[in-house]
Amino acid sequence: MRTPALVILFFLYLFSAGLRAQHANEDFLYASAGKKDKLLESATLPPPVHTPSECCPHDNGESGECGTGKTFDGRSRCMAKTHPSTKAAVEVTLPKLRQIAFVHNTEAKEDVECSSGRFPYEDANYTLKNVYIIAAKREGDEDYHVIVSTKKKTPKPENLINVEISGLPYRDPNDDLKTVRKEFEERTPDMPDCDASYYFLPKRLKVNITGSLFFDNEHPCFPGGKRCNVGPKGYKPDNCWELHPVTAIKWLD
């Protein structure tokens, strides 16, 4: 008769031990979370190089109607999108640019908010040489999304990058931004002013293109171009990094 009682006591002991272990684990997790919160509170992020200001009256507002002008009319990161880095441009290949940018993937996803200016890791200009403009689209914020490829034919997502010819800042438009926009519109005279789909250039234009590194968290992209909301079907980049704004295009064709 004593054996069942011992078995019951044994299982009760295991149950209580399990509860103690669970509570201990919870206490550890709460303590760890508290330490993490304190670390986050004490951490100081590097300030943006540029911050939103009155030069962007629509910052965090609603995007405007496409084709109503050339002034940037977007809803987020106006200062960063319309004010390029002042650093000298460095020539890189697209694989090298990806390597440079991807180092900052984690901090970019954590730090970048809609109202953020240009962060230190975005304070750099790069030139991609001998690349091809595949397709473009004029957006409601007056930016041109321009899909650029290192391959003239059948590019893979890792061969693609979205570069943006920015709408002009509300005050004191940068001459480089005005020149790039004018030249691009002259080179694509048949491109619709506003359209729901991307315009494929009849002839893929070979260019050297220069712009500022930019992490666009409005364009979430995944490996293979899956669920990416920038670029036409079959021509979607696989990450959120861009050159934005574009500050120079050398036309090679």
Cβ–Cβ < 8 Å for 131, 204: no
pTM of the model: 0.74
Count of other CB atoms within 10 angstroms of residue 92 = 16
Q: What is the pLDDT along the chain (253 residues), one digit of tens a residue?
A: 456 665 566 555 655 555 444 444 333 333 333 333 333 233 344 455 544 444 455 544 444 556 556 888 777 888 899 999 999 999 999 999 999 999 998 888 888 877 788 899 999 999 999 999 999 999 888 899 999 999 998 899 999 999 999 988 877 778 999 999 999 999 999 888 776 789 999 999 999 999 999 998 777 665 555 566 789 989 999 888 999 999 999 999 8
3-state secondary structure of 201: strand
Nearest CA among 78, 84, 174, 175 for reference residue 123: 84
Quote the tokens at residue 88: 């000298």
Nearest CA among 163, 190, 169, 187 for reference residue 78: 169
